[in-house]
Amino acid sequence: MNKSSDHKLSQTPLYSVDSPELRHLPFLFWLIENHRPQSLVQLGFGDGVAYFAACQAVDQLGPDKQCVCISSGSDENLARTDLLMRNEKLYGEFSDLKIHDQRYAPQFVGKGVDLLILRVPENGHQADFPAKAWRDLLSDRGIVLLLGTVANSAEDQAVRALESAFETPAKIDLVDETGMYALLIGAQQQDCIRELATTHADSGEPHRIGTLLQELGYDVAVANRGTASRDSAMTSGGAPDFEKLRARYEQGLIEISRLGHLLARNEKELKRITLQWEDGLLQNHIRSKLEATQSKYEGTKAKTFNPMARRRHKKRLDEETQLVEASGLFDRDWYLAVNRDVQESGIDPVRHFVSDGAYELRDPGPLFSSFKYHKANPDVTNEGIPALIHYLKSGRSENRQIFKVGDLG
């Protein structure tokens, strides 16, 4: 998490009334900052706290953004002139408030919705809610955010029904007096968002970042109502100390930032280790295929009773040696410097490479990575042909790509 995201999280909501949704605004700000949705749709306006907070966060993301709130004609707040004017004045360039029957709303929204916010009391209990239609409109990184769930989402039948209808692969459940529940639908999710869901699923306990976001949300609600904070209510029952609330809020943001950086670093290290492990398995597979080919050649060479086979073996080595020497991809000095065992043996480096090194997955020079060529061409591996030999005999004419030893591949 960067400094800009800290700033956005610490912003005071520009619109707030006494609402249970206030407690989830820090999470909403965090989610939008990290998810960076270009298309946001909310079904059900309610008291407007969540939608206006979402618009406030999206407004910080730059151009190419769209927010739409669709609510039924029975939503009295959408008829209020002051709220309509607020939307037009602050977010009119990208936000649109619509009154429509939500059951048919999908046909008025284009594909590629990154964040769909559902007010569960208004949508979750509708037997004819078109969840599948909305799922088809989500982007490959789509998230469905459920507002107004019960404290224990596992016992909320509406949540269970929506989770099943959306075929949810992962989720974030912020358990509180009033719940907020995020369904991660699309496969392309930011690492920090996926980690927040994965940690909860694996341990059954909320992630530290999620806990901090909930604590910050409580203080936002307390400050808005002007009632005592948790600590002061338990002790003196007096009015809140807003300076202490602000200090606690800012300290929580610092902790979230620290955990975010730590999470990103751990995720990067995990990817590096995973890639090394996968490459190690692949290298063993390649070597086993090449060793099988080499064993076959050595078997032919050992047939002393078949002079013709031995001559064919020697002819093949001579032809491949000439081919490698003329390729411009074999570097004698580099090969000897990298392979000290060859240097100490006194064997001609080209001859060693053709007869042994190529089958051991050694590189002929800095301009050609044997492993990366095999990795990019599994058919060559399956045939048991050394990388450079294949490239010189047929790969080059087939326009197959080669990689330098230091390149990513």
223-255 pLDDT, tens digit per residue, is 555 533 444 433 444 444 555 655 666 666 666
Q: Is the same domain home to 193 and 315?
A: no
Q: What is the pLDDT of residue 375?
A: 94
* DSSP β-bridge partners for residue 165: none
Domains of the chain: total: 2
Buried b / exposed e along 8-18 (16+ C-beta atoms within 10 A)? bbeeebebbee
Cα 94 to Cα 394: distance, rounded to the nearest angstrom: 56
Residue 183, Cβ density class (10 Å: 0-12 exposed, 13-18 middle, ≥19 buried)? buried
Question: Integer distance in angstroms from the first to the last C-alpha of the chain?
Answer: 29
Q: Is the same domain home to 199 and 339?
A: no
Cα 198 to Cα 189: distance, rounded to the nearest angstrom: 12
Cα 62 to Cα 157: distance, rounded to the nearest angstrom: 38
Find the CATH number of the domain harbouring 218. Answer: 3.40.50.150
Q: What is the pLDDT of residue 234?
A: 38
Kindly state whether residue 343 falls inside one of the protein's structural domains. yes
Among residues 274, 295, 319, which one ends one of the domains? 274
Q: What is the pLDDT of residue 16?
A: 79
Q: Is the same domain home to 87 and 194?
A: yes
Residue 305, Cβ density class (10 Å: 0-12 exposed, 13-18 middle, ≥19 buried)? exposed
Q: Is the same domain home to 63 and 184?
A: yes
Q: Is the same domain home to 113 and 231?
A: yes
Q: Is the same domain home to 135 and 240?
A: yes
Residue 310, Cβ density class (10 Å: 0-12 exposed, 13-18 middle, ≥19 buried)? middle
Q: What is the pLDDT of residue 195?
A: 75
pLDDT beneath 50: ranges in the chain? 1-10, 124, 151-154, 177-178, 200-206, 227-240
Cα 326 to Cα 270: distance, rounded to the nearest angstrom: 42
Q: What is the pLDDT of residue 163?
A: 78
Q: Is the same domain home to 261 and 326?
A: no
Q: Is the same domain home to 124 and 216?
A: yes
62: Cβ contacts below 8 Å, ≥ 6 apart: none
Give Dmax over CA atoms of the chain in angstroms.
Answer: 103
Kindly state whether residue 141 falls inside one of the protein's structural domains. yes
Judge whether 218 and 206 are in contact, CB under 8 Å.
no
Kindly state whether residue 295 falls inside one of the protein's structural domains. no
Among residues 255, 274, 293, which one ends one of the domains? 274
Residue 107, Cβ density class (10 Å: 0-12 exposed, 13-18 middle, ≥19 buried)? exposed
Q: What is the pLDDT of residue 393?
A: 94
Q: What is the pLDDT of residue 201?
A: 47
Domain region containing 230: 3-274
Kindly state whether residue 15 falls inside one of the protein's structural domains. yes
Q: What is the pLDDT of residue 327?
A: 92
Q: What is the pLDDT of residue 310?
A: 75
Kindly state whether residue 284 falls inside one of the protein's structural domains. no
Kindly state whether residue 281 falls inside one of the protein's structural domains. no
Q: Is the same domain home to 247 and 390?
A: no
Among residues 234, 254, 274, which one ends one of the domains? 274
Q: Is the same domain home to 163 and 31?
A: yes
Q: Is the same domain home to 156 and 262?
A: yes
What is the β-pairing status of strands 39-43 and 66-71? parallel
Q: Is the same domain home to 214 and 357?
A: no
